[in-house]
Structure 1
Amino acid sequence: MRYDLKSARELAIRACVASGASKEVAISLAEATVAAECSGRSSVGFAHLPDYLEGFLNGRISTEEPALFFPAPTLIQVDAKGGIAQLGFDRAFEELQTRANAYGVTVFALKNSYTAGELGYYVRRLARKGLVALAATNGSALMATGQSSQAVYGTNPLSFAAPVDNRAPLVIDQASSATAFVNIRQAAERGEMIPEGWAIDEKGLNTMNPREAIKGALLAFGGARGANIALMVEILAAGTTGANWSLDAPSFEEGSYSPGVGLFIVALNPELLAPGFSARIAYQIERLSSKGIHVPGSSFVKEEIDLPSSLVATLEKYCQH
């Protein structure tokens, strides 16, 4: 089913409010959900929204107002109080820009939140304001590494964005795992097999069966290299923010407790170091593109998005709560 962006936002807001979210939380989450669809990340767009709706209904997501603290001029600390990361980021967004422009760099550290959704959403917004940004977030343990068959990390993604003259920002957004958990779940729902190397079953054996993978754990991309990145993300997103380690984070799908995970962002004003930065990046992207290099993040402008009718029907049911 095709929706214009305004109607898509309204659908998301209605479903969130009906499920118990405050209007402020619903608006913040709806904006991020539509943005994920517009950036081509539908797996963390409307397909992920029912996870939030169940979270509201079952008490995994609080609608408390996040608390902001400023322990140093270039540090912004946010306690999401069990709520969504998107609202905490919204509340700090203007201050994050102001301080990054004034001091050259600012760190945003958020704890006690539900999953962050599309990680590229946060850095893309900062890049549109002329800042270079790097973000990391952890989640409930879903990924095993090394010789262990136990899940010890979330998918632990990293995202990066930089402003580019006369075009959309450059955005890189990728998980430390071989794939996102939602892709495993969708494959199970469709009855499709998954590629080898994505996951193991509960016995620690490689599996191509998504239902067995859900009982087991995801695998890191690139073996030890992906595992090392997952650990770096864990230290940034949980260690420096004071959030739950992935091993200690309650499930984002079950129970009545928030995962309580973290979001770490560093924002840099590149013009203070390299005047004309955005123009330099634009020129370099043109050079790379001319050599056949794909440069991620050249998002296109959408006026409409397509949603599966089955997903729309699911969301409409939530609207009836």
Structure 2
Amino acid sequence: MDDTLALSLEEVRTLAHRVLARLGLSERQIGPVAETIVAGERDECGAHGIYRLLSCAQTIRAGKVALDAEPAVHDMAPALVRVDGGGGYAQLAFETGRPILAEKARRCGIAALGLNNCVHFAALWPEVEAMAAQGFAAFAFTPSHAWVAPAGGTRPLFGTNPIAFGWPRPGKPPFVFDFATSAVARGEIELHRRAGKPIPLGWGLDPEGNPTTDAAAAMAGSMLTFGGHKGSALSAMVELIAGPLIGDMTSAESLAADDGAKVSPLGGELIIAIDPNGFLGAAAAEHLARAEQIFDGITGQGARLPSLRRYEARARSLANGVRVSKKLHDDILAQLD
């Protein structure tokens, strides 16, 4: 028995708009929020697709999102800009700051955008892919809630703390990677819990600090970083550069502000854009072409090049639509009641 449902991308978009509008989100926020949900489903990143409408519903109903937030731009320096999201979703804050970041990076060669006071629920690859599509090398970082234990520890301190990078490829989609510094994104554990499936060892600890394959126990206990102390160090870096460095909360502070609501994190995001022309001038095209040797060297030996799987999935979805869990779809439709 098929437990999935076929949807076109336009149907996914319409569903996202309907649910977000029913929840009272302003029209200005609905557009960019919905597009990140469509992008997740389109690229077969199920943990960042329509499933995220459930977390939006929970967060909004808990009063943890400013429904009519209007981002405020603060031009800090020739190569620095901050956008205060006003307690709204990060997508609108990024869309507000993106053209300013691009202009500053072109003028200075490198620039940084700090997003403050934003609710985060999505992956970071949409941000770096958008910047790389404009010709920049780009990085993005954000803390979350304190769900992750440091290496050797047993209590949550870090967030999932993703790191994303984008690289422009002339005539081709950008090279992009985006990974949590936790062993897996929290949404993946939640999808396992919903499906009643065990998680692999190494993903999390139960509330007593013991390794577990029980998704619910890991959600109640703590997640683990990838790569032991290496992932833990990177997670600490994200806490610092996308928290105190830009005047925003750490993951522990975000969880404290959540105050038991168990909703999406509130905090900051740091996005850095580098213009190859700033270093290379007229030689930029030559050196970007040299970079293609690296990508050819990866794929030429049958190794996986990050981002290619998403682009292949994107082509399929654009041609054929997507399939989603019927149960998940029903749970989302229930938000319209």
The TM-score range, normalised by the shorter chain, is over 0.9
2:300 is the alignment partner of 1:295: no
Q: What is the total number of aligned residue pairs between the two structures? A: 320
Cα 1:20/1:184, change in 2 over 3 Å:
same
Letter aligned with residue 153 of structure 2: S
Residue 87 of structure 2 aligns to a residue whose secondary structure is: coil
Superposition TM-score, scaled by structure 1 size: 0.94
Match of 2:220 in 1: 215
Match of 1:318 in 2: 335
Q: CA deviation at 1:253?
A: 10
2:87 is the alignment partner of 1:82: yes
Percent of pairs identical after alignment? 28
- Aligned residue runs from structure 1 range 178-257, under 5 A: 178-250=183-255, 255=261
Separation in 1 of the partners of 2:100 and 2:175? Answer: 23
Aligned equivalent of 1:268, options 267, 270, 274: 274
- Aligned residue runs from structure 1 range 76-225, under 5 A: 76-225=81-230
Letter aligned with residue 44 of structure 1: H
Letter aligned with residue 334 of structure 2: K
Gaps of 5+ in 2: none
Q: CA deviation at 1:11?
A: 1.1
Cα 1:21/1:147, change in 2 over 3 Å:
same
Residue 38 of structure 2 aligns to a residue whose secondary structure is: helix
Letter aligned with residue 52 of structure 1: C
Residue 168 of structure 1 aligns to a residue whose secondary structure is: strand
Separation in 2 of the partners of 1:121 and 1:252? Answer: 25
Separation in 2 of the partners of 1:256 and 1:25? Answer: 22
Cα 1:252/1:49, change in 2 over 3 Å:
farther
Letter aligned with residue 315 of structure 1: I
Q: State whether residues 150 and 224 of structure 2, in contact with CA within 8 Å, keep that contact through their aligned partners in structure 1.
A: yes
Q: How much is the aligned-residue C-alpha RMSD, in angstroms? A: 1.8
Letter aligned with residue 77 of structure 2: A
Q: State whether residues 120 and 264 of structure 2, in contact with CA within 8 Å, keep that contact through their aligned partners in structure 1.
A: no
Separation in 1 of the partners of 2:322 and 2:291? Answer: 29
Letter aligned with residue 104 of structure 1: G
Match of 2:265 in 1: 259
Letter aligned with residue 91 of structure 1: T
Residue 218 of structure 1 aligns to a residue whose secondary structure is: strand
Q: CA deviation at 1:258?
A: 6.9
Separation in 2 of the partners of 1:42 and 1:106? Answer: 32
Letter aligned with residue 297 of structure 1: S
Q: CA deviation at 1:281?
A: 2.9
Match of 1:52 in 2: 56
Superposition TM-score, scaled by structure 2 size: 0.90
2:290 is the alignment partner of 1:284: no
Separation in 2 of the partners of 1:257 and 1:68? Answer: 26
Match of 2:74 in 1: 69
Aligned equivalent of 2:24, options 2, 20, 30: 20
2:38 is the alignment partner of 1:34: yes
Separation in 2 of the partners of 1:202 and 1:256? Answer: 16
Range that drifts further, 12-21 or 49-58: 49-58
Cα 1:258/1:176, change in 2 over 3 Å:
closer
Greater share of helix = 2
Separation in 1 of the partners of 2:196 and 2:222? Answer: 18
Letter aligned with residue 269 of structure 1: D
Q: CA deviation at 1:37?
A: 2.2
Letter aligned with residue 178 of structure 2: D
Range that drifts further, 185-194 or 295-304: 295-304
Q: State whether residues 141 and 269 of structure 2, in contact with CA within 8 Å, keep that contact through their aligned partners in structure 1.
A: yes
